[in-house]
Structures are given as C-alpha cells and as structure tokens.
Amino acid sequence: MPKLTYRDASLAAIQHSMREDQTVWCVGEDLGRGGVFGQYKGLREEFGESRISDAPISEAAIMGAAFGAAMIGTRPIVEMRFSDFALCATDELVNQIAKARFMFGGQSRAPMVIRKPMGLWRSSAAQHSQSLESWYVHIPGLVVVCPGTPQDNYSMLKAAIACDDPVVYLEHKGIWDLEGDVDFSKEYEFGKAEIRREGSDVTIVSWSNTANLAVEAAEALSEQGIDAEVIDLRSLWPWDKEAVLKSVAKTGRLVVTHESVAVGGFGAEVVATVAEQAGHALKGPVRRLGAPRSLVSYAPNLEDMLRVTSEMIVTAAQETLKKAS
C-alpha cells in the first residue's frame, strides 16, 4: 500500500473518480493553481479547464451553478475553500440542494460533494477556524462526514462522489500533511464507524482530527493500566449508534470529544442517545469535551486555550473511572 498524506489521498480519490466517470467535475476558487491547500494539484493539466473549473469569488454562485449541473446529470465536487466561507452559500445548500429530492418527489436529485475544510489552523482567527459540522447534521437531506485519516480521505471521498445525495464533506485543514497507508481497494459505507483501538475500560467517541488525539490519549492511558476503546464515527449523518451502544455496554463508561464548540455540538446527541438506550450500562459519569463558546483568537496562546488536547481526553477518561463506584 502506498503511504500518502491526507491531502494526496483526497487528490487520488478525485483522480480515480474522474477517470472512471466523465460526469464528475470540480468547481471552485483557485482550482487552476491546485487549490488553496494543494488538494487539486495537477488535475487541471490532466482533465482540462472544462472539468477543473475556476470560479469567481462568489460562494453562492458556485453552489447554485453546481446544483443546476447536478440536477441535469453531472456529479460536481464543489470546493468552498473554508467551511466558514461556505456560509455565504447556505441558502443554496439548505433550502435548495438538501430539499430537491423531497420537493420534486424523487424525480430530481443532487449528487454533489461539498468540500468544506474545517477546524483550527494556526493563527487563522475567528473567521477561518470554525468547526460547524453539527449545523449540517441538523438539516434533513444532507449526508455529513468528517474523515480523519488519509485512508478515510480516500475511501470516503470516493464514496461521497458516487453518492446520489448531497454530501457535506468536512476535511480538517490542520492535517493536510498527515501521512498514512492507503489501500485503494478499500471501500467505505456511510454510517459505519471505525474502532481505532479496542478496549474494555472506557469508550472514547470522536471524529475528524480529534479522533487522532483520542488514539494518542488511549495509548497514554494504556501505560496507566487503563484499556480505552476509541471509536471514530467518521460519518455524523448517518451515524453508527450500534457501534457506540455496543462499546458502552462492554465498558460502562463514555467520553465524547470533539474540536467544535461543546454547546449544541454533536457530542450531545451521542451522549443523549447513550443515556436513552444504554443508560443502565453506565458505571460512571459521562464526560463530554469540546471547545468553549468563544471566538477563536489570532494569538497562538489564546487559540491554544480553545483546543481539546490528548491530555484533556486522558483526564476525562480517568475521571470516569475514579467516580465509578
């Protein structure tokens, strides 16, 4: 298996999909020069301007044009550059794209991938650092995914391109250089979590880059004799309730952690589901970690105060065990 970066894994997924299907194309700002993060590098040279389309600086126009193209039979990959910028196209996404199949009685569809790089990226400040995944989970009609590894950024992007529903595809912009083995034959099924580490003492549920931190925390916990199971949800809608409930039934303890703001975050949905369907299995208090409801500062020292760290995850897991009597 080749070792690829998170960036190059997504690039390979697009290359393979575009070679296999002539209806797949990309549209967004700066694609001709390879994209703001280099995630489209070389595609213009291979596929030409008609399939790697540079667009004006108007997110609403990009999203709307791609929606029209999707409705007549193509499969656009829409590049929003930053999840924050995509808010300029919220009406097209939420009121048009998400509702098209329902409003037209299944006669029309919107097979689109909307790439929205998310998360903290050093000194990018309040307008370029948000994680807004829980917003899109709230909207019926949208598939919402958050790949956290190179393998997932290959397999999940290929699956998203082939999907007949609109997929909000949230890549973490802080891990473009993360390396890992990528098996091009490995397929992804929406709604399936991955158990990144098996364990018996505490369940840690996460997604995106925070799932990588959860794995680090689990390794640190193992040195203390605590056997943590790490579940990377990967897909937030649909999400793998069964995997989480099965794990909690085994461990009796739960930590849910994500980079986005804790207030109203998707972690609350996970906790509520466990409380409702597996509360009897809990041996200790549930812990939920997320960012405080605060704007992200440009200053690195203040930005760091909003980060969930592997050390925080370790502490949260320890607390579920200390109070479990």
pTM of the shown model: 0.95
pLDDT confidence of residue 123: 78
Q: Cα(first)–Cα(last) distance of the chain, in Å?
A: 46
Same fold, 3-181 and 195-322: yes
Active-site option among 16, 128, 138, 258: 128
pLDDT digits 0-9 by tens, 218-244: 999 999 999 999 999 999 999 999 999
Give yes or no for residue 188 having a pLDDT over 60. yes
Ramachandran bin of 130, using left for φ above 0, alpha for ψ from -120 to 50, beta for the remaining angles: beta
CA dihedral defined by 296, 300, 305, 311, rounded to 10 degrees? 130
150 and 176 Cβ atoms separated by less than 8 Å: no
CA angle centred on 159, ends 153 and 165, rounded to 5°:
120
pLDDT for 324 beyond 50? no
Q: Is the pLDDT of residue 323 over 70?
A: no
Q: How confident is the model at residue 325 (pLDDT cuts 50, 70, 90)?
A: very low
User: Which tens digits make up the pLDDT trace of 120-167?
Assistant: 988 788 788 899 999 999 999 999 999 999 999 999 999 999 999 999
Tokens encoding 245:
């409930």
Sequence spans of domains, the chain: 3-181, 195-322
* Whole-number Å distance between alpha carbons of 198 and 80: 36
Percent of the chain with pLDDT over 90: 89
CATH number for 3-181: choose from 3.40.50.970, 3.30.300.20, 3.20.20.70, 3.40.630.10: 3.40.50.970
115: nearest Cα among 22, 190, 40: 40
- Is 128 a residue of the active site? yes
**Architecture of the domain made up of 195-322:** 3-Layer(aba) Sandwich (3.40)
